[in-house]
């Protein structure tokens, strides 16, 4: 008999254990992050699809429901944060199928206009094509860059391009990197200053980052950490890093134009890797390159390996006629934005 999947307002007993031990777990699986998103961004309601009950709890996944103007979207998770199900060892396939079926049921129940299911799973079995196909939509593949720390910091340093290693050494002689949570407003100002060049991408609100820098209340410490690179008192660049016992993920950054000439941002990311290794993290997820060859080359020079994973873009097949029209309008407006390669 297939396990029962339910949508819960709060994570059940057993979820924190999975977040601590499951190979697929990331900061995005920490409930305090969903709460921070819902507290700051309008129209968001988080829930957890739980597979099994009580001692039979097998796993589950977070979903954020967005309501705007009477229409609904489903995000697992917003901003393409990882929403892959977590499961007890050996039960991944059944949890994936049950969670996918519950997500499809939510699509029908809410007549969802769209959304996404980001299935980043750097360790453990991939989600099967059968489970991916259950929620109506289209599967595409996104590439993310991973700095692998499992083999040690020296091995990671050895994978960096020789020219880049020289630049990082030189930058280290005049750039000081540190964890500096009190510099949030200064760092966010750099983030905002760069935003006009991002086209349709909107900067994340300052209040969200304030909440992420707070303790997650789950025994893992802050949801995020802020790292800075300075020359003297001048802030050259900064990066907010989402944190989990297995993985650190730089989420947003800001840089002064002078940072490029001084190779300060590369030095800053390497300092994040140094911190992550010292804190016992297995990897640093540098994220996608947004279709930019220059960004991809920069990450490659830092010794990152590329990992492709599926994203299921949910369609509007269960939506009302007005919802389907809205989905078509959104598709036209978003034409040309990176959505990944065909699966």
Q: Are 18 and 86 in contact (CB under 8 A)?
A: yes
Same domain, 129 and 82: yes
Is 291 within a domain? no
Pair 214, 334 in one domain: no
Q: Can you tell me the distance from the alpha carbon of 244 to that of 248, in angstroms, rounded to the nearest whole number? A: 6
End residue of a domain, out of 262, 281, 300:
281
Residues 226, 212: Cα–Cα separation, whole Å: 10
Closest by Cα among 10, 15, 30 to 224:
30
Which residues are within 8 A (CB) of 324 and not within 5 positions of it... i.e. 6 or more apart?
113, 316
Rounded CA gap, 186 and 191, in Å? 9
Domains contained in the chain, number: 2
Do both 56 and 103 map to the same domain? yes
Query: Over the chain (343 residues), what is each successive 10-residue block's mean pLDDT?
Result: 82 91 93 96 95 88 95 95 93 94 96 96 88 96 94 95 94 93 96 75 89 94 97 96 96 92 94 97 90 87 94 96 94 82 83
Here the CATH number for the domain that contains residue 92 is 3.40.630.30
Strands (E), the chain: 5-8, 44-51, 59-68, 71-76, 86-87, 114-118, 137-148, 176-179, 224-231, 234-243, 247-255, 283-287, 305-314, 341-342
Question: Per the domain annotation, does 208 fall within a domain?
Answer: yes
Q: In the 8-state DSSP scheme, what is residue 258?
A: H
Residues 313 and 238 occupy one common structural domain: no
The pLDDT, as a whole number, for residue 294 is 86
Instruction: Provide the 10 A C-beta neighbour count for residue 223.
Output: 25
Tell me which residue has tokens 């994973």. 309
Would you state the pLDDT for residue 335? 80
What's 26's DSSP letter? Answer: -
Q: Is 294 within the bounds of a domain?
A: no
Residue 248 forms beta bridges with which residues?
243, 284
Which residue segment(s) compose the domain that 104 sits in? 5-142+309-342
pLDDT of 200 reads 58
> Does residue 295 sit within a domain?
no
Q: Could you tell me the pTM of the whole model?
A: 0.93
Which DSSP symbol is given to 10?
A: S
Is 153 exposed, middle or buried, given 0-12, 13-18 or 19+ CB atoms closer than 10 A? middle
pLDDT value of position 49 = 96
């Amino acid at each position: 008999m297939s396990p029962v999947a339910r949508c819960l307002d709060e994570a059940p007993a057993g979820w924190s254990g999975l977040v601590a031990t499951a190979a697929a777990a990331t900061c995005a699986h920490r409930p305090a992050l969903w709460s921070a998103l819902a507290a700051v961004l309008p129209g968001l309601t988080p829930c957890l699809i739980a597979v099994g009950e009580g001692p039979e709890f097998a796993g589950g996944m977070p979903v954020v429901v967005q309501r705007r103007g009477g229409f609904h979207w489903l995000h697992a998770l917003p901003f393409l944060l990882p929403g892959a199900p977590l499961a007890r060892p050996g039960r991944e396939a059944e949890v994936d199928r049950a969670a996918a079926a519950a997500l499809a049921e939510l699509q029908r129940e809410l007549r969802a206009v769209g959304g996404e299911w980001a299935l980043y799973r750097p360790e453990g079995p991939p989600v099967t094509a059968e489970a991916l196909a259950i929620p109506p939509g289209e599967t595409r593949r996104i590439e993310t860059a991973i700095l692998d720390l499992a083999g040690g910091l020296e091995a990671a340093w050895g994978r960096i391009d020789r020219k880049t290693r020289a630049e990082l050494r030189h930058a280290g002689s005049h750039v000081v990197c540190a964890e500096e949570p009190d510099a949030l407003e200064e760092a966010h100002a750099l983030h905002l200053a760069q935003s006009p060049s991002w086209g349709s991408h909107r900067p994340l609100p300052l209040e969200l980052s304030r909440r992420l820098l707070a303790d997650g209340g789950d025994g893992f410490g802050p949801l995020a950490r802020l790292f800075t690179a300075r020359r003297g008192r001048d802030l050259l660049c900064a990066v907010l890093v989402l944190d989990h016992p297995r993985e650190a993920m730089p989420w947003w950054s800001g840089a002064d134009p002078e940072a490029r000439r001084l190779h300060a941002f590369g030095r800053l990311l390497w300092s994040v890797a140094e911190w992550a290794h010292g804190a016992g993290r297995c990897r640093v997820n540098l994220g996608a390159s947004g279709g930019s060859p220059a960004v991809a080359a920069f990450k490659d020079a830092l010794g990152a390996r590329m990992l492709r994973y599926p994203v299921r873009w949910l369609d509007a097949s269960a939506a009302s006629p007005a919802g389907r029209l809205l989905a078509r309008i959104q598709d036209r407006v978003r034409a040309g934005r990176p959505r990944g390669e065909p699966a």
